[in-house]
Every structure is written in structure tokens, then in C-alpha cells.
Amino acid sequence: MYGMVNRALQEMVEGSQGTDVWERVKTRAGVDVEVFISTEGYPDELSYKLVSATSEVLRMSVDGVLEQLGGHWILQTARYGYGDLMAAGGASLAEFLVSLPEFHSRMTAIFPELNPPEFRVERNGERGVLVHYYSHRTGLTSLVKGLLRGLGEMYSEPVTVTLVKVRGQGSDHDEFAVSW
């Protein structure tokens, strides 16, 4: 994954726990990278190791770390680092979610090596959608939950996010019901 993902985790940990704690996370993960470069590719394995080490050092569940990272990604990384891209996503939560399937494909010109997830979105009542999430990767369900909650916060819409179908349990992908 592009380094911006590892950087986001670093900023999240450093922001609440300080630099020393992030150094402990890296040591525990066996990751010897001084500075993550946002636009450079790193093995997925490295990001998974950092998330797992964060969960151990902070005594949080891996799902808790991923969900927090999703919120941080939307409210800090994307908002302040990629504000134009986010603004192009829509003027309301509903608009953003409906255009989510195209979101990452708009970025492939800037990030040619992007291997993004795929989303399919269908309307579900007046104030809701079903978000279908497909990925080449596994284990990132809670990240998506945090991202969707973060989007609600970004648009100041109190949002409910419920995992309604789980990949590997009678479904080939995760499905979330999002309502506001």
C-alpha cells in the first residue's frame, strides 16, 4: 500500500500517545523504516504488522485500531491532506456515498499503483444506503466501519453503520447498512 496509510497510523498514534510510543510500535512490529513516504509503495504485510503491534502496545483490539484509523483517515488525513479530492466526492453524505464506487478510480492517474477496494452502493430507504465492500485484502472490515462513521462526522450527519453481511459467512463480501 502507498506509504500514506502507514503515515496515517503513525500520526494517529503519535497524536494521542507521543513519538516514543510510535517507536515502540515500530520495534515491536520489526519495522525499520525511519520515514514513510506517502507516494511510495510498501508491502501490505508491513501495514498489517504495524496495526497488530499498535493493538498490542495500546492494549486495544485490532478491530478497535482499524476503526479508529478509519475515522482518523477521513477526519485528518483525507480532510487536510487531500481536501480537493474529498470535496469532489460530494456536497452531502448521501452524494458522497452514492459516488463512492468511483472515488478511488479518480485517483489512479495520480497513484498508478493503487490497488483499491471496490464498492457497490444501493439506496436503502429515504435516508440510507447499503454499501457492498469488495477487496483483494482480508481483515479490513473494521477499517471500513470507521471510514463510514468518519464520513458521517465529516458531514455532521449522525450516522448508524451496521455490518449486515460478512465475507466468508455465506457472502463473498462485506455489506454495511448505513443510515442517517
Which residues make up the interface to ligand HEM (CB under 6 A)?
1-2, 4-5, 78, 82, 85-86, 103-104, 107, 111, 114-117, 135-137, 140, 143-144, 147-148, 151
Longest alpha-carbon distance in the chain:
49
Closest separation between CB of residue 18 and ligand HEM, Å? Answer: 26
- If the CB atoms of residues 55 and 76 are measured against ligand HEM, the closer one turns out to be 76
Residues 6+ apart with CB under 8 A from 26: 32, 33, 50, 53
Closest separation between CB of residue 20 and ligand HEM, Å? Answer: 27
Is 147 within 8 Å of 136 (Cβ atoms)?
no
- If the CB atoms of residues 17 and 99 are measured against ligand HEM, the closer one turns out to be 99
Closest separation between CB of residue 56 and ligand HEM, Å? Answer: 21
Q: How many CB atoms lie within 10 A of CB 127?
A: 14
- If the CB atoms of residues 27 and 171 are measured against ligand HEM, the closer one turns out to be 171
- If the CB atoms of residues 104 and 165 are measured against ligand HEM, the closer one turns out to be 104
Question: What is the distance in angstroms between the CA of the first residue and the CA of the last residue of the chain?
Answer: 31
- If the CB atoms of residues 9 and 147 are measured against ligand HEM, the closer one turns out to be 147
All three cell numbers of 73: 483517515
Is 39 within 8 Å of 4 (Cβ atoms)?
yes
Closest separation between CB of residue 124 and ligand HEM, Å? Answer: 16
Closest separation between CB of residue 169 and ligand HEM, Å? Answer: 18
Q: Residue 52: which H helix or E strand, with range?
A: helix 44-57
